[in-house]
Amino acid sequence: MDNPRLCFKCATETFAELIEREDIRPAPYTGRYRWVMLDRLDAVGNGELRDLIRQSYEMVSAKAPRNMIKKTE
């Protein structure tokens, strides 16, 4: 893993803010659905990244069929 990257979905406002930052861009193929790609894992701070991933999970799981979602509690 010489150059790890990370993709996640975000809200419209967050998407617009994030892609203005260095090392963050719309994800290939899914950018039109507001997915972003971090070219470096340290492009955002750990706390912010944790929040962004949590929000992404919530948005994606809300649209998933109920029988596909596994409880993480």
- Per-residue pLDDT of 30-39, as tens digits, reads 999 999 999 9
Confidence band, pLDDT 50/70/90 cuts, at residue 65: confident
Long-range CB contacts for residues 22-30, cutoff 8 Å, separation at least 24: none
Instruction: Report the pLDDT averaged over residues 19-41.
Output: 95
- How far is the C-alpha of 42 from the C-alpha of 72, rounded, in Å? 26
Name the burial class of residue 67, with classes exposed (0-12), middle (13-18) and buried (19+) by CB atoms within 10 angstroms of its CB: exposed
